[in-house]
């Protein structure tokens, strides 16, 4: 196999002792799923595909005018981007001497509860056999049928002993707001297994209700952070962190610079409207700082790099920011180039790896 290396870059950034990538996307195909499905799911999925709601596909509705949304060099031979471990090793893990990479297999569909549970199990088994068993640097996210909380809890318990699954996926669009009490058993099960939960933007369909649907991928892409802001608001306002105090939540690929001013707005509004949130015992920003974590990609690039540093500091959460590349997507951030030199020293060490070690219990 030959791999284009034209984009290989000079590693001139400050050297860090540890690189952990918290957002890497392996991509499965139907051939990966079918052998791992029992009947009647196997025949149904073979015939109808993953239940995804064809009118809801963000990729179709908002075509990504950047090589379909992936790095040009990530298509190797006939294999789709992110589908071959050897390519991911060559282009990412080895290339940047990554100590660990956290896999996030995004699932497209959402069917009836039992089918969704079967699909999640198939994806989780595929991850275990084709990825985790083959490279000790890999960790993964556990997919669960989120809108069937009892089945989701079973999936968490099924894999709880495999320490390589380091977090539980929360979809970018659920049937209720994420703070709804019907989802709390999932949060309790994750916390009981010492697993953070993680929301990654997109994944399944995104609804656009407040302002209506945008026209362009540019808007869709820039709007994804509001989904994550809504999740953060919903979880905080629900009071779930009073009920499950050890719950940790990773906000992946959602940018960071909005979060400081959002905390300011939440706190200021709470002073007037706090009676509306009777379960809260602290300021909203305190829950934010105690329970949420960020990934860096796509890192903001203000003209003045000091503005980025200050925006990160506004969150009060520089101990909760983790490097991510988003391999193999088009807006990949290189471990050597993503952070400006205004982020240096111990802060750089933390963001590039140490913070992720703490969240995911990794030992390098």
- Binding residues for another protein, rule: CB under 8 A, are 65-66, 173-177, 179-180, 206-219, 221-223, 225-227, 229-230, 233-234, 237-238, 255, 257-258, 260-277, 283, 285, 298, 300-302, 307-308, 310-311, 313-314, 330-331
CB of 322 to another protein, least distance (A): 19
Are the CB atoms for 17 and 356 separated by under 8 Å? no
> How many CB atoms lie under 10 A from the CB of residue 286?
16
Cβ distance to another protein smaller for residue 112 or 301: 301
By C-beta, is 95 or 253 nearer to another protein?
253
**Nearest CB to another protein, comparing residues 27 and 229:** 229
Residues near 138 by beta carbon (within 8 Å), at least 6 away in sequence: 100, 101, 103, 131, 132, 164
105 vs 284, beta carbon nearer another protein: 284
**Which residue, 127 or 317, is less far from another protein as judged by CB?**
317
Q: Minimum distance between the CB of residue 279 and another protein, rounded to whole angstroms? A: 10
Least Å from the CB of residue 310 to another protein: 5
Task: Name the residue nearer to another protein (CB basis): 8 or 279.
Answer: 279
Handedness of CA 339, 341, 347, 352 (dihedral sign): positive
Shortest gap between Cβ of 147 and another protein (angstroms)?
11
- Which of 118, 174 has the CB closer to another protein? 174
Residue 294 CB, shortest distance to another protein, in Å, is 13
User: What does the CA dihedral 127, 335, 248, 58 come to, rounded to 10 degrees?
Assistant: -60
Q: How far is the CB of 19 from another protein (least distance, A)?
A: 22
Give the Cα separation of 133 and 301 in Å (integer): 37
Least distance in angstroms from the C-beta of 63 to another protein: 8
Closest CA relative to residue 162, chosen from 128, 190, 130: 128
From residue 307, alpha-carbon distances to 311, 312, 342, 349 in Å are 6, 9, 9, 19
Query: Cα(290)–Cα(317) distance, rounded to whole angstroms?
Result: 9
């Amino acid at each position: 196999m030959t791999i284009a290396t034209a984009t290989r870059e000079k590693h001139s950034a400050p050297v860090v002792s540890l690189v952990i990538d918290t957002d890497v996307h392996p991509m499965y195909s139907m051939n990966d799923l079918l052998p791992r499905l029992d009947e009647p799911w196997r025949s149904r999925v073979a015939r109808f595909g993953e239940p995804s709601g064809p009118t809801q596909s963000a990729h179709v509705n908002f075509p990504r005018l950047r090589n379909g949304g992936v790095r040009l060099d990530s298509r190797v031979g006939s294999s789709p981007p992110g589908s071959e471990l050897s390519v991911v090793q060559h282009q990412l893990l080895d290339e940047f001497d990554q100590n660990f990479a956290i896999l996030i297999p995004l699932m497209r569909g959402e069917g009836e509860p039992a089918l969704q549970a079967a699909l999640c199990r198939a994806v989780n088994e595929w991850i275990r056999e084709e990825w985790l068993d083959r490279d000790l640097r890999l960790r993964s996210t556990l997919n669960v049928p989120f809108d069937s909380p009892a089945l989701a809890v079973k999936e968490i318990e099924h894999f709880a002993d495999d320490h390589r699954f380091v977090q539980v996926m929360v979809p970018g669009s659920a049937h209720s707001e994420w703070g709804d009490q019907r989802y709390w058993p999932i949060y309790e099960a994750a916390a009981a297994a010492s697993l953070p939960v993680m929301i990654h933007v997109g994944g399944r369909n995104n609804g656009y209700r407040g302002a209506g649907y945008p026209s362009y991928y540019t808007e869709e892409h820039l709007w994804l952070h509001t989904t994550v802001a809504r999740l953060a608001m919903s979880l905080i306002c629900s009071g779930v962190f009073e009920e499950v105090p050890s719950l940790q939540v990773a906000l992946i690929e959602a940018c960071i610079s909005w979060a400081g001013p959002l905390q300011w707005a939440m706190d200021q509004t709470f002073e007037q409207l706090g009676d509306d949130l009777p379960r809260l015992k602290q300021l909203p920003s305190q829950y934010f700082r105690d329970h949420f974590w960020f990934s860096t990609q796509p890192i903001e690039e203000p003209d003045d790099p000091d503005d980025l540093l200050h925006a990160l500091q506004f969150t009060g959460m520089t101990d909760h920011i983790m490097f991510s590349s988003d391999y193999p997507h088009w807006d990949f951030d290189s471990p050597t180039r993503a952070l400006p030199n205004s982020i240096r020293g111990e802060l750089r060490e933390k963001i590039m790896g140490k913070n992720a070690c703490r969240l995911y219990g990794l030992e390098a």
